[in-house]
Structure 1
């Protein structure tokens, strides 16, 4: 892989002489290395490896999170089983998912090596990290509340993945609002129309005083991040795409509520 060095070197020579040539070759080297890394990441073999690890890590960490408060609740078990059904897993995959969940909830489970392997295999793909955390957050909300031990466990996982606490808290607020919004206006906590509108803004990750342009930009960014083709290209397993599709529907509904409130602008 040397095309970047050739092009950048020639441009550097034409524009800056010998010194420009050296600078161009250096810049071209970094370009070639980045391109080679991107091609390696997108190879079928590597994507299959990422998908495999994403699946394993998801259920291991779901088990760890479910046991964070000392016991695995019936709601958490039911939520995990609902995810398995929604994913359409085969009988063998279902048994494997349950086995991973039980391993993650075992007293001797070691979190750090699992997260380290995930980061090593998935590289610096922030979207993969965010999607994994969103799956875990949905489990934490399975019983309708997020207690301090679950929040601490999520923050511990986030820190190990290099995610700032403020970013994780934003994801928590958005996921919680999306979950309530999915139940429809006034659902879940018996909230009235005003609170449901507040949920819609929170689901989009914006404040109520956001202008129309930034509102649309936030909406499009969220829809792009949850687009099935992009998620598959990043390494999210295909049978987990259904969960992201449901999240897209919640985002769409939240955006439509805000637009309606603003007179369809």
Structure 2
């Protein structure tokens, strides 16, 4: 349709030569429309969700093996994550199989990320979300050793992120874990050191500095909440059972923003 309309407009505007130009422009329009329709198709979303799920748990197994072996504690931690996500028995078995693949000697991280990018690479938010999911899983035991961090850094690089971007996401994730629904008693009771420590973490959780103005603070908060909105993530290709990670992060982000708001006297 794009080529037909472009060709006719070109023909009526300037003759045969302009008709050829119109057909070329129409072809580009048709191709862009086809790509957009393909992205929005249920089949395309299903492929993206499958790739996201498989890659996450393969790399999760690889991270667990980062120190040379997968110990009983790391297996128990993986089981806890499966339970946290509320996976069905079938999905849990599938996740375990992918986790074992990632922990095998034959697993190649570069190939796994390359396959993920072939399906989801044109969606920047999905690249960010899979790294955030892996960071959240690695931080589940509140202990991120150097070997695990090295793997996560490599994943970020393979996803096309800079070292600075990775460090920012990691620091934000670490700070956000302080706001996982538990009340911050230090701030509420007015303890100066605890209050300042909590506020420092809250600003870091939102990825802003303490001297940010209220307008930019709210802008940063809304951007993070938009990025972690369940409906948006599912539409872009994130599996529904893994959206729970993003939902928990949005709750942590809200708690951090609320703490800053109370300190600043914002409504």
Q: Please give the range of the TM-score, normalised by the shorter of the 2 chains.
A: 0.7 to 0.9
- For residues 93-147 of structure 1, give each alpha carbon's deviation from its aligned partner in whole angstroms, at most 9, with x where no partner exists: 1112112112111222111111111110113111111111111101222332322
Find 1:167's aligned residue among 143, 165, 168: 165
C-alpha distance in structure 2 between counterparts of 1:9 and 1:150, whole Å: 59
Matches within 5 A, 1:1-265: 1-2=1-2, 6=5, 10=9, 28-73=26-71, 76-182=74-180, 183-185=182-184, 192-264=194-266
Unaligned runs of 5+ in 2: 187-192
Unaligned runs of 5+ in 1: none
Per mean C-alpha deviation after superposition, the further-off stretch among 119-128 and 64-73 is: 64-73
TM-score by length of 1: 0.87
C-alpha distance in structure 2 between counterparts of 1:155 and 1:114, whole Å: 15
C-alpha distance in structure 1 between counterparts of 2:98 and 2:164, whole Å: 29
C-alpha distance in structure 2 between counterparts of 1:165 and 1:19, whole Å: 50
Preserved CA contact (<8 Å) 1:9 1:28: no
Preserved CA contact (<8 Å) 2:81 2:137: no
C-alpha distance in structure 2 between counterparts of 1:248 and 1:8, whole Å: 49
- Evaluate the alpha carbon distance shift between residue 138 and residue 77 of structure 1 in structure 2; reply closer, same or farther with a 3 A threshold: farther
Match of 2:189 in 1: none
RMSD over equivalenced CA pairs, Å:
2.7
- Evaluate the alpha carbon distance shift between residue 260 and residue 8 of structure 1 in structure 2; reply closer, same or farther with a 3 A threshold: farther
C-alpha distance in structure 2 between counterparts of 1:127 and 1:34, whole Å: 20
Per mean C-alpha deviation after superposition, the further-off stretch among 16-25 and 163-172 is: 16-25
- For residues 185-226 of structure 1, give each alpha carbon's deviation from its aligned partner in whole angstroms, at most 9, with x where no partner exists: 269xxx822111111111111111111111111111111111
Structure with bigger gyration radius: 2
C-alpha distance in structure 1 between counterparts of 2:219 and 2:20, whole Å: 41
Q: How many residues align?
A: 260
Per mean C-alpha deviation after superposition, the further-off stretch among 235-244 and 79-88 is: 79-88
- Evaluate the alpha carbon distance shift between residue 195 and residue 10 of structure 1 in structure 2; reply closer, same or farther with a 3 A threshold: farther
Report how far residue 31 of structure 1 moved.
Answer: 3.7
Per mean C-alpha deviation after superposition, the further-off stretch among 136-145 and 58-67 is: 136-145
